[in-house]
A and B are shown apart, each in its own frame.
Chain A
């Protein structure tokens, strides 16, 4: 509002002002008073008023300029002076230009000094003229504002005897005893001031109001500032507004914006150019007309008639069950009022005392009636229904929440969703109970293996012994000591060879246990002793040695020294090849295959493809399975190539077993899973079983029965029925049938190895508790 408006307004006023006094245009006086602005806004007919008011302002100005008596009186009467000052403040508060007005308002405190200085410097005028003029400008501005206030309050100026020298630098009177002239032209003398520095000092020390005493320059009198004035000074010094009530952060209203208003804010007449047609537009139109004439622009382009709406229900089949028309459910109707709602219900509807008590105690939700039937004398006595709004709300809820469509619910019996698995009872035989415990080992039994005839069992333990057991009686027939904790034992699957491979530390020993057919045992010994060194000796990664002396007495026949610790040993089905796992992440020599008859060793893999966990030979075909941490790789031994890579979807494979048919593989992992792979189906697991609570340590297939078993750290052995069909279309049937418990958990380890009896549906498990158990 201010800038332009004040600009325009000030023009008008300044004309007069310039006539009457040499007032600076910058004076913000006209901005100050909203009330006056309102007057001005009223229109031109108020011109008379406006001039009046302005005259009054200017008359005030004149007065302010001439008043010296006033200030003298101010000296006399502090209270009056105070009030006038306050009024000054008020006037200043109306100002929008903060800085300027602030300065102006600051002035009063120095006014006295100024005036004194003026008096002192009066004679030595001239030098500081510019500065003084600015100061006086300010003074006059201040005075004007104060005069405006005076005028409003209609304070008479007759007793106000003031300095009438006019708007001159008071320094000019500096050297004179007087400070100006009164109306009669007599000199106005300065108050007697003969204070020297000592007086000044004493005054400073003794007068408690010294700090708030200033000198009026105009009159040379000392003025004691009131509390309000001091407060004002403090506020201004802090850069705040003088008025306590002024809100400097009022929302600004932008009247002069791009928006066209119905009622003009200003009275400015419209420009001429708003009446005359625009030449530029004419030119533009001309160009368009020309373009239309030339056919460059087609004025009436046929509109594209795309339908804005389409039939939402067009595609709906009128005969469908879920058709909209059939689905319509009318909104629930309100119950019609009954006798109990009557104002004068039959007595049987009225509640007895007990009924009423029961009703009150009942939860509002379960009440049969939501109100108490009442008997009233006449209809006029019926009170206002207090639950009306509540009831309406409930009705709305009823309408809102009631079903709007009939739901076609499919009734699915949850039982049907469970796959139809045969009952374990029908899948017999499978091991169900613990029958025998083979006790003797003093430390955990890491590995067990059963002779191909099923009569003997061999177990290798951390107590550095290998024990041979009679299966049917749990009798330990033989104990062979070896030089380290036994990691793996494997009985040669060939019936005509009696050999057991035992791995401990970096050594694999082939033992002849001397059990079973004596002819076979002697034949095996002969086979080993009849070996003849080939003429050319190849450099082999493994050292072959024949056991002598005491070792030979115990049954040791051949000793194979490996570069690193051997974890697993496994025989090929024919019994001539022996694969050993030497887990070592940094080396390519992780798997070695020994040929016992020729005492040869080969390293089938040139590259290290991860830490090998276990290996296995395919039972029929020349394939070789290598399980690393996450994958099982199937190699064709004849073609010397990778055939398949099975993704186990688990973190760390611990064990692996190949189905005797050769097309299915199970993998146990340390993350409690057992994955069944159907090699014909996919490289991903066909089924993943998570039955164990802890890491799986060992898995095994039965050679004849459709059974497989898994042993875990939780001490349980879980037997599953795993039927593989000859029909390629039928997927294997996997049914968990039995959890076998028995092993006690020792050092957080439960079952370490499991194996099946070759002919009976019996499972052996070896555990960390140093026992081997037979479940039948």
Chain B
């Protein structure tokens, strides 16, 4: 078996070649195939620059020689092999390294600003260039989570969530509301797509939905020692009470997210991922795993849930499947707990994961055996990762550093 009949195709119009089968050596690897395509393209149009390509055989990236791949996949050598080729993803380029005073517990970014929460009880706003813009201090305990653009949410171990209003021109932050109600540390918050509500998950096993719209009046709560609280609200903003409370988890809620405006998804230490109806508060589905879930992420592009748990796997789930506990794929390369996962907002196959083994890994679900890239910049535990729409990957960890990477390939590949 020295020669195989192969037909190359791509969805990228830029690199289209003639739809004819070629006879190529079976022992050829990715670089060889890439050379073949480049030669063909050069022959087709003169102005072609050399492009590295990656090849997919039956939806999986080719990492070994074609022959061994065909052997493992049981592809007959008699037939013409269909090989898809895409432009090779270039490695994420490190951009900034932002030092913090303490461990970074969470990170979130939009196209302009980066918001980080830290163990020094503050949340910080940074510009994309890594300049500290604003420090939001108000919590009495470790800061955990955040959200929104001009409205910021910070959740803390002190069992409260603060809603802040940030005026970026004047660079001023005002605490608008202090959301009280949780009986444990608040570990996660998520804002719904309409930006009118947000949901929080706490160590007290509860999910609570709060209004995200700042109002001028305080929610009615029965405080036994009102005068004292009154003073506090001057600083801390008005006290807000939850709109709804979802109980059902048997253990701490570690991660929560909105799948769409009506559907909530929460992961917990009780080894389950639950889907909730945000309107009625009923449980819609339960996915049961075998380990504690640390984090989940949902991609509307591929409609998959990715979860990181206290073993070293990143697992992909189909939240729509009725039989619940079906793992679609396990991505195994980490050596410690997976503490953070985040789907690419623009690419349906790619996700990023951070782990206690100090490494951030970039995955393509089409290559599940090994990650595309290891981002091994951190010197201590990675606690959080984020991926912005404009192709910025952020990761923060216990080494007090926030790293940002520019990952351009996904933008180019977005159309693929």
Q: Using a CB–CB distance below 8 Å, which chain A residues touch chain B? A: 428-429, 435-436, 453-455, 472-475, 477, 516-519, 759-760, 762, 776
Contact = CB atoms under 8 A, between A and B. Distances in A.
B103 A475 contact: yes
Contacts of A516: 184
* Chain B binding surface, main DSSP class: loop
Contact of B158 (A429, A455, A518): A518
Interface string B74-86: 0000000000000
A473 B339 CA distance: 9
Contacts of B200: none
B185 A455 contact: yes
Contacts of B37: none
A474 B380 CA distance: 11
A518 B159 contact: yes
A429 B183 CA distance: 29
B184 A455 contact: yes
A519 B251 CA distance: 19
A475 B400 CA distance: 13
A760 B269 contact: yes
Contacts of A517: 159, 183-184, 204
B210 interface: no
A370 to B, nearest CB: 61
A771 to B, nearest CB: 15
Contacts of B203: 453, 455
Nearest to B204: A517
Given A435-B356, A516-B184, 4 more contacts: A474-B381, A475-B398, A518-B158, A776-B311
B159 A436 contact: no
B269 A475 contact: no
Given A455-B203, A473-B381, A435 B269 contact: no
B356 A453 contact: no
A436 B356 contact: yes
Contact of A473 (B204, B252, B311, B383): B383
B119 interface: yes
Interface string B103-137: 10100000000000001000000000000000000
Contacts of A519: 183
23 contacts: A428-B290, A429-B291, A435-B310, A435-B337, A435-B356, A436-B337, A436-B356, A453-B184, A453-B203, A454-B252, A454-B269, A455-B252, A472-B294, A473-B103, A473-B381, A473-B383, A474-B381, A475-B142, A477-B142, A517-B184, A517-B204, A760-B310, A762-B310
Contacts of B294: 472
B138 interface: no
A756 to B, nearest CB: 14
A428 B290 CA distance: 10
B149 to A, nearest CB: 28
A435 B334 CA distance: 12
User: What are the 7 A-B residue pairs with the smallest beta carbon separation, nearest first?
Assistant: A517-B183, A776-B310, A435-B337, A455-B203, A759-B251, A760-B292, A518-B159
Contact of B269 (A473, A477, A759): A759
Nearest to B203: A455
A174 B170 CA distance: 170
A454 B310 CA distance: 15
Contacts of A455: 184-185, 203, 252
Contacts of A474: 381
Given A518-B158, A760-B292, A776-B310, A435 B336 contact: yes
B309 to A, nearest CB: 10
* Chain A binding surface, main DSSP class: loop
Contacts of B184: 453, 455, 516-517
A475 B119 contact: yes
A491 B269 CA distance: 21
Contacts of A518: 158-159
Interface in B304-336: 310-311, 336
A474 B119 CA distance: 12
A473 B158 contact: no
Contacts of B398: 473, 475
Contacts of A435: 310, 336-337, 356
Contacts of B292: 760, 776
Contacts of A428: 290
Contacts of A762: 310
A759 B19 CA distance: 59
Interface in B116-173: 119, 142, 158-159
Interface string B377-390: 00001010000000
A776 B338 CA distance: 13
Contacts of B383: 473
Contacts of B336: 435
A516 B184 CA distance: 6
Interface string B174-187: 00000000011100
A244 B261 CA distance: 136
Contacts of B290: 428-429
B227 to A, nearest CB: 17
A171 B206 CA distance: 150
A618 to B, nearest CB: 26
A454 B269 CA distance: 11
Contact of A776 (B105, B204, B337, B381): B337
B100 to A, nearest CB: 14
A442 B247 CA distance: 42
A759 B291 CA distance: 12
Nearest to B270: A759
B132 to A, nearest CB: 23
B73 to A, nearest CB: 29
A776 B204 CA distance: 22
Nearest to B141: A477
B267 to A, nearest CB: 13
B122 to A, nearest CB: 16
Contacts of A475: 103, 119, 142, 398
Contacts of B183: 517, 519
